[in-house]
Structure 1
Amino acid sequence: MSEHKPSARGPFEHKPQAGWVAVEDFLTETVVHPDAALQRAVQSATDAGMPPIEVTPNAGKLLKLLVQVSGARRVLEIGTLAGFSAIWMAQGLPDGGRLVTCEYLTKHAEIARANVAAAGLADKVEVRVGPALDTLAALHAEGQEPFDFVFIDADKENNSNYLDWAVRLGRPGTTVVLDNAVWEGVVLDPAMDQVNAPGIIGALELLGKHPQLDATVIQTVGSKGWDGFALARVR
């Protein structure tokens, strides 16, 4: 089972409506204002032939604001890619804050490190390479301080495992964000994507019954199509 983000959503992918993309572009230009370092991260991913699956700028800005609103000082990210979302969240950290991000592929990790350094955030961000479940187990074995904020955006098959680790590596009050929680509506028709749907649905069911998680899910539309994210708090 892979531990990196899938490169495509398959034949059922919903083509974004022109209005969704136009509104997203307007909001990005009018409200979000991604800086040059963030734009560089997106371009580096394109240049390296990575799949265009990083979060949108408005979602990245939301992550930054959630880090700030939650008062997080330690952030854990599962799924790095070129470092776009890591840069957003690290920009929301206070002085002395720390972000650990897990990346499966060495090539992606190298590009992410370069982007993080170009953003002036190398002192705040640590990129760890290897299967995420191994990295998470290592963090636990090292006795790391609890994480205040966890962002999960990796292979969907392991979503439930990642949620379990978010609880184990977090503390009461830790904020957890799980991306791709709607995935073009596969929650209603798992046959649309037999690879990713079981992990997405299983994670949502876990969020609804986990004794240590209180959660909701927000649907979204935009350049990435029809999707959404789950927002949870560790009890």
Structure 2
Amino acid sequence: MRNDHTWSSVEQFFTEKLQPESKNLKYVRKNNQRNGLPEIDVTPPQGKFIAMLAQLKEAKNILEIGTLGGYSTIWLAETLPQDGKLVTLEVDPTHVKTAQKNINTAGLEDKITIIEGSALETLPTLKERGFSDFDFIFIDADKPNNPRYIEWALALAKKGAIIISDNVVRDGEVINKNSTDERVIGVRKFVDILSEDQRADSVALQTVGEKGYDGFVLTIVQ
């Protein structure tokens, strides 16, 4: 039998065996819920996966587009070396306040900087703020703007940087060229950009789990 229940049960099995959350990450989930944030964080296996990629990359300079409550932020920041830094962009003031509390509780406030505001307005200011030449970028924000996010990510990344873009399969709707869903349209345009830009070498992987059927794109900047 292959269905959503099976996918969720398998994910729970592997989470308990291989991806146990730290007390800081468990606190994030509870505090996010207390503050009414949507439960759309990456799952523990996804969080550990992107953290392991950052660790394999030996990333020291990370950009995250879309903070929410800081769950993926903390997964990534915990892999940073002593002199490593992460900057994360978030538009919602409630999310920013909650994420900052979560980051402080985890003792990572010296490594993580949250910039509040629309990412499309704050991305152009990163260089003047002293943030550029990223070696790892995680894109997990509003999907209609994915085309512009990937353009900025490619511009701000170092050669050899890794870019992870989440939620690209959209339960299979990504192949529907007639979709009127702005999220699907945004992902399709984003994929077109990656397929045409010589700076991007990309692969898409489909996933199943407690969040259903989805996937991500991994890009290495050439």
TM-score range, shorter chain: over 0.9
Q: 1:45 to 1:127 in 2, by over 3 A?
A: same
Instruction: State the SS of the aligned residue for 1:172.
Output: strand
1:72-107 deviation per Cα after TM superposition (whole angstroms, max 9, x unaligned): 100000000000000000011111100000000111
Specify every segment of 5 or more residues in structure 2 that has no aligned partner in the other structure, as ranges.
none
Deviation of the 1:192 alpha carbon: 5.3
Partner of 2:85: 98
Deviation of the 1:140 alpha carbon: 2.8
Matched residue type, 1:132 = A
Matched residue type, 2:81 = P
Instruction: State the SS of the aligned residue for 1:121.
Output: coil
Deviation of the 1:190 alpha carbon: 4.8
Q: Does 1:112 align with 2:86?
A: no
Matched residue type, 2:6 = G
Deviation of the 1:52 alpha carbon: 1.0
Q: Does 1:152 align with 2:131?
A: no
Query: TM-score, normalising length from structure 1?
Result: 0.90
Partner of 1:80: 67
Q: Does 1:89 align with 2:107?
A: no
CA distance in 1, matches of 2:180, 2:100: 32
Partner of 2:14: 27
1:19-67 deviation per Cα after TM superposition (whole angstroms, max 9, x unaligned): 1111111111100111111011111122222111100000000111111
Instruction: State the SS of the aligned residue for 1:196.
Output: helix
Q: Does 1:208 align with 2:222?
A: no
Partner of 2:151: 164
Query: TM-score, normalising length from structure 2?
Result: 0.95
Q: 1:107 to 1:187 in 2, by over 3 A?
A: same
User: Identity of aligned pairs, percent?
Assistant: 39
Q: 1:120 to 1:101 in 2, by over 3 A?
A: same
CA distance in 2, matches of 1:71, 1:146: 14
Matched residue type, 1:86 = T
Instruction: State the SS of the aligned residue for 1:161.
Output: helix
Partner of 2:185: 198
Matched residue type, 1:213 = A
Partner of 1:232: 219
Partner of 2:23: 36
The answer (yes or no) to whether the contact 1:187–1:201 under 8 Å persists in 2 is yes
Structure 1 residue ranges (4+ consecutive) displaced by more than 6 angstroms after TM superposition: none
Partner of 1:8: none
Q: Does 1:47 align with 2:34?
A: yes
Stretch of structure 1 that moved more, 99-108 or 38-47: 38-47
Partner of 2:123: 136
Q: 1:202 to 1:145 in 2, by over 3 A?
A: closer
Partner of 1:18: 5
Q: 1:22 to 1:192 in 2, by over 3 A?
A: farther
Bigger strand fraction: 2
Specify every segment of 5 or more residues in structure 1 that has no aligned partner in the other structure, as ranges.
1-15
Higher-RCO chain (CA-CA 8 Å, sequence separation at least 6) = 1
The answer (yes or no) to whether the contact 1:104–1:132 under 8 Å persists in 2 is yes
Matched residue type, 2:24 = A
The answer (yes or no) to whether the contact 2:89–2:122 under 8 Å persists in 1 is yes
